[in-house]
Amino acid sequence: MKPSSPITQDVLTVPRRLPDGPTNLVGLTRDALAQALAAVGTPERQLRMRVAQIWQWIYQKGVRDFDAMTNLAKDYRRLLAENFVIEVPEVVSRHVSADGTRKYLVRIAGGHEVETVYIPEEDRGTLCISSQVGCTLTCSFCHTGTQKLVRNLTAGEIVGQIMLARDDLDDWPRPGEGMGERPRLVSNIVLMGMGEPLYNFENVRDAMKIAMDGEGISLSRRRITLSTSGVVPMIARTAEEIGCMLAVSFHATTDEVRDRLVPINRKWNIATLLEALRAYPRLSNSERITFEYVMLKDVNDTDEDARRLIQLIRGIPAKINLIPFNEWPGAPYQRSDWDRIERFADIIYKAGYAAPIRTPRGEDIMAACGQLKSATERARRSKAEVMREAGLD
């Protein structure tokens, strides 16, 4: 960990329109799509309907070819094909864990890579998506935090991760099949992959609006959870402009420990964070906030911590998600012992809060929470390590 490293966010999002290429329609808001259609000559009075039709093809049926949009006139389809593309990021590799978890290494414009993880469970399928390449926030227990941030993802690259997973899982309605006839494999979204979503607010918002829209991906806002390390000034905006479920990477019960684990705490401390969280359920009309708490041996896992946690969150409708630390090569922490985690959970549960212990998934393919880091970055780092060990640097 670098205690004095500044918390910055001066990163660039590449423009949606590459200099000479056609505009990608994936990720455009309704307004932006209407503007794009108007610019190629779509009559004003048709815009609303065209946007709805095109969204349905793209996000409900998974169509990538304008020619398949059979409720549009042939000439109009040709006009669209001449000016636009429907593109999602490319899957470079896919790893399937023994427990069925799938990890996709996804290449985005500029050759950067992010990871997307699909976690099948009995009653749901959760897709964990990334919002940035790497992360500027150097949380000391997080593998992504050791990767230098390269850039923010565009809205198209964020919503594109949902689409590419649905491609791979065959999760689009088949011809003749109505929406909702088959249970959806990607039924839940968590913004818990690489990056801090609230440091890429506009793009995350635009992508989630498409995910929640009845003519878009059509997932209920209750099935979308955004996890933040605690970017306090953006929490009220998340409630007002997205309105999804909120999770917060809490991880400690004193500022002294949280400063070390989640360095953004030095900017917005526990008291400031709690104040913003207290207002969230009312502003977003959602039931409760998820407090994520990574269990680190001898760091934040005492009975006293559990009791302090209950005191701190008193009055906030909450669920506490205990995450056994997922180890990664060179990590400076260890996972708390299992009986310690259970004892911690028990104290919280007895105080009247749900305290599920998150089962680590996809550990064998390095797909668990906090282990995500692009393969190229990993390779680069291990090469540097090899050099150092060999005394060559």
- Would you please indicate which residues are annotated as catalytic (active-site) residues? 115, 369
Q: Of these, 87, 171, 196, 301, which contacts ligand SAH (CB under 6 A)?
A: 196
Helix (H) or strand (E) holding 96: strand 90-96
Q: CA 178: distance to chain centroid? A: 28
138-157: contacts with ligand SAH (CB under 6 A): 139, 141-143
241-260: contacts with ligand SAH (CB under 6 A): 249
Which stretch, 29-37, 45-53, 89-97, 226-234, contacts ligand SAH (CB under 6 A)? 226-234
- Our finding on whether 225 is near ligand SAH (CB under 6 A) is no
Q: Which is nearer to ligand SF4, 171 or 292 (CB)?
A: 292
**Could you tell me the smallest distance in angstroms from the CB atom of residue 135 to ligand SAH?**
6
Instruction: Please tell me whether residue 192 adopts helix, strand or coil conformation.
Output: coil
**Could you tell me the smallest distance in angstroms from the CB atom of residue 263 to ligand SF4?**
8
Question: Which candidate, 309, 390, 310, 325, places its Cα nearest to that of 358?
Answer: 325
The residue assigned the tokens 């992010």 is 114
Q: CA-CA distance, 188 to 227, in Å (whole number)?
A: 14
The residue assigned the tokens 């909702």 is 180
Q: Which is nearer to ligand SAH, 277 or 369 (CB)?
A: 369
**Could you tell me the smallest distance in angstroms from the CB atom of residue 131 to ligand SF4?**
9
E strands, 177-316, where? 188-191, 224-228, 245-249, 289-295
Pairing of strands 188-191, 102-107: unpaired
Q: Which is nearer to ligand SAH, 91 or 357 (CB)?
A: 357
- Our finding on whether 323 is near ligand SAH (CB under 6 A) is yes
Through-space distance between the first and last CA atoms of the chain, rounded to whole angstroms: 21
- Our finding on whether 301 is near ligand SAH (CB under 6 A) is no
**Could you tell me the smallest distance in angstroms from the CB atom of residue 81 to ligand SAH?**
38
Question: Which candidate, 315, 333, 302, 247, places its Cα nearest to that of 275?
Answer: 315
Q: CA-CA distance, 269 to 259, in Å (whole number)?
A: 8
292 binds, among ligand SAH, ligand SF4, none (CB under 5 to 8 A by kind): ligand SAH
Q: Given the rule CB under 6 A, which residues bind ligand SF4?
A: 135, 137, 139, 142, 144-145, 195-196, 229, 249
- Our finding on whether 116 is near ligand SAH (CB under 6 A) is no
374 binds, among ligand SAH, ligand SF4, none (CB under 5 to 8 A by kind): none
Q: CA-CA distance, 70 to 284, in Å (whole number)?
A: 38
Q: CA 376: distance to chain centroid? A: 20
Q: Of these, 146, 227, 284, 286, which contacts ligand SAH (CB under 6 A)?
A: 227
Q: Of these, 24, 146, 228, 265, which contacts ligand SAH (CB under 6 A)?
A: 228
Which stretch, 30-38, 79-87, 135-143, 155-163, contacts ligand SAH (CB under 6 A)? 135-143
The identity of residue 51, as a single letter, is V
Q: Which is nearer to ligand SF4, 139 or 239 (CB)?
A: 139
**Could you tell me the smallest distance in angstroms from the CB atom of residue 205 to ligand SAH?**
16
Decide if 228 contacts 196 (C-beta within 8 A).
yes
Which stretch, 53-61, 306-314, 345-353, 363-371, contacts ligand SAH (CB under 6 A)? 363-371
Q: CA-CA distance, 343 to 349, in Å (whole number)?
A: 10
- Our finding on whether 290 is near ligand SAH (CB under 6 A) is no
Decide if 5 contacts 138 (C-beta within 8 A).
yes
318 binds, among ligand SAH, ligand SF4, none (CB under 5 to 8 A by kind): none
Half-sphere exposure of 146 (CA within 13 A, CB side): 21
Decide if 235 contacts 280 (C-beta within 8 A).
yes
- Our finding on whether 192 is near ligand SAH (CB under 6 A) is yes
Instruction: Please tell me whether residue 131 adopts helix, strand or coil conformation.
Output: coil
154 binds, among ligand SAH, ligand SF4, none (CB under 5 to 8 A by kind): none
Residue with the shortest CB distance to ligand SAH = 370
Q: CA-CA distance, 142 to 140, in Å (whole number)?
A: 6
Q: Of these, 276, 369, 373, 374, which contacts ligand SAH (CB under 6 A)?
A: 369
- The region that residue 55 occupies, defined by phi over 0 for left and psi between -120 and 50 for alpha, beta otherwise, is alpha
Q: Which is nearer to ligand SF4, 33 or 119 (CB)?
A: 119
DSSP 135-158: -S---TT-SGGGSPP--BPPHHHH
Q: Which residues bind ligand SAH (CB under 6 A)?
A: 139, 141-143, 192, 196, 227-229, 249, 292, 294, 323, 325-326, 369-371
